[in-house]
Amino acid sequence: MNNTQLTEDYQASLQAVAQFLRQEDDFLVVSHLSPDGDAISSTSAMGFILKALGKKYSLLNEGHTPQKFKLLLDDEDIINYSSDPVQRTFDRVIFVDCADASRIGQAKQVVADNAVIINIDHHVTNNAYGQINVVRTSAAATVEIIYDLIKTLNISWTPKLASCIYAGLLTDTGGFRYSNTTPAVFAIAERMLREGVAGAMLAERLLETMSLGQVQLMKETLSTLSFSEDCRIAWVKITTEMMNRSGALDEDTEGLINISRNVQGVEVALLFKQKAEHEIKISFRSKGEVDVSRLAQIFGGGGHVRASGATIMGTMEEAVARIVEAVKEKI
C-alpha cells in the first residue's frame, strides 16, 4: 500500500512514531504471550530499525522464542522474561502485534508506570492503549504496518530486515492462502524477495518442518477430534499428559488446530489446550461468516475475525461445554 492510499490519520501516526524514535533512546520492544511468527518478526524488525537509527534497545517477551524463528534474529536473542527477569523498568516501550496491553503477561513488570507506549498492531480488538497508536486492522500482519514505518523512516533494506517482513506476512496469511492475502501483501512480498529474501527456505523452515514431538502430539491430538451434531463445529484437545507423552514443546502445538479446521463442512474450529489443572487456552478459527474475535472477547480474549484466542479457568470438560455452546449460538 503506497502513501497516497493511506488515510491521513494513519500517515500522521506513522510520522509521530518516526519522530519519537528519532528523538528518544533506550527502548523496550515487547509482544504478546506465546509469540507467533508475526509477533517475533515484528519484534526483530523493530530491533533492526532501532539499530539502524543508532538507538539503545532491548527485545523481550514472557516465554522463549520458538527455535524455528531464531533465524530471524540478529546477534542478540529476545530476552525470555520467565527465565531471565530484567531488573529494571523502561520509560519508552514499543508494543508490537499486541491487541491488549495485558497480553504481555508478567513482562508488564518492566514497563514503568509513566512509560510512553507505542502501540503497533493490526488486530480488530485492539483498544488503543498507547500514547501513540498505529493500528490498521486492514493490514494482513503487523509487519505490514512496520513495512510502512520503515519507508517513513527511509531506512535502507537489508536481507535480514526484509526477511522479518516477509516471514510475518508468510505466517499470518498461512503461506499466502488466507483471506487476508491482499494485492498489497503480494506487492510487499515481491519487494522483499528483490531485497534478498530466501522465500523457499523460509516457507520450508517456518511452515513445513515439524519436530518429532510435534508429529507425536499430532497423532494423539487427532484421536480427540470431535464434532457438533451438524458437523459445523469441530474441536480437538491437548492435555498436559499428551504434551508429556509426546515430548512436545508449547511451540509444537502451532498449526494443530488445522486438524479440525480443514474438515469439509466445518465453519468454526477450536483447539483446547490445558495450561494448568484448571486453566484452558482456546484457539478459535473461522472459515465462514462467524466473527470469532467477538466470541473470544466474551471469554476475555481477542484477536482477528477469522483467528482469535482466549483463556478460561475450569476443567477441560467445562471449557469444551461452555465454548461449544457459545459457538452454537453464533452459527
Q: Mean pLDDT across the stretch 249-273?
A: 94
C-alpha cell at 281: 487456552
Q: Are residues 182 and 225 in the same domain?
A: no
**What total number of domains does the chain contain?**
2
Question: In the listed set 207, 238, 262, which residue is the last one of a domain according to the structure?
Answer: 207
pLDDT band at 5, cuts 50/70/90? Answer: low
DSSP string, 75-97: SSPPEETTTS--SS-EEEEEEES
The pLDDT assigned to 119 comes to 98
Assess contact for 286 and 294: CB atoms under 8 A: no
Please state whether beta strands 268-276 and 79-80 pair in parallel, antiparallel, or not at all (unpaired): unpaired
> Distance between CA atoms of 112 and 321, rounded to whole angstroms?
40
For Cα atoms 154, 160, 161, give the angle at the middle one, nearest 5 degrees: 30
The answer on pLDDT for 207 being more than 80 is yes
Assess contact for 302 and 100: CB atoms under 8 A: yes
C-alpha cell at 47: 530491533
The answer on pLDDT for 214 being more than 90 is yes
> Distance between CA atoms of 216 and 250, rounded to whole angstroms?
13
The pLDDT assigned to 314 comes to 96
Assess contact for 162 and 48: CB atoms under 8 A: no
The answer on pLDDT for 79 being more than 60 is yes
Q: Are residues 123 and 233 in the same domain?
A: no
Give the list of residues 6+ apart from residue 95 with CB closer than 8 angstroms, or none: 30, 31, 101, 104, 117, 118, 119, 120, 121, 129, 130
| Exposure on the CB side of residue 199, measured as CA atoms within 13 A | 14
Q: Are residues 189 and 255 in the same domain?
A: no
The pLDDT assigned to 289 comes to 82
Find the helix packing angle between 142-153 and 8-23, rounded to 10°: 70
Q: Are residues 156 and 220 in the same domain?
A: no
The pLDDT assigned to 288 comes to 78
Give the residue from 282, 288, 260, 287 showing the smallest Cα distance to 326.
282
Q: Mean pLDDT across the stretch 90-115?
A: 95
Q: Are residues 195 and 281 in the same domain?
A: no
Q: What is the CATH number of the domain that holds 225?
A: 3.10.310.30
Question: In the listed set 154, 182, 207, which residue is the last one of a domain according to the structure?
Answer: 207
Q: Are residues 92 and 46 in the same domain?
A: yes
Sheet of 57-61: strand order equals: 79-80, 57-61, 27-30, 90-96, 111-121, 132-135
- Please report where in the chains the cell 465454548 appears, as a residue: 323
Q: What is the CATH number of the domain that holds 158?
A: 3.90.1640.10
Domain that holds residue 165: 3-207
The pLDDT assigned to 6 comes to 62
Alpha-carbon torsion (30, 31, 35, 39), positive or negative = negative
Tell me, rounded to whole angstroms, the distance of Cα 313 from its chain centroid. 22
Question: In the listed set 188, 207, 226, which residue is the last one of a domain according to the structure?
Answer: 207
Q: Are residues 69 and 172 in the same domain?
A: yes
The pLDDT assigned to 264 comes to 95
Q: Are residues 74 and 167 in the same domain?
A: yes
Q: Are residues 61 and 146 in the same domain?
A: yes
Q: Are residues 83 and 185 in the same domain?
A: yes
The model's pTM is 0.90
Q: Are residues 308 and 323 in the same domain?
A: yes
Give the list of residues 6+ apart from residue 65 with CB closer than 8 angstroms, or none: 35, 40, 73, 77, 78, 80
Q: Are residues 12 and 152 in the same domain?
A: yes
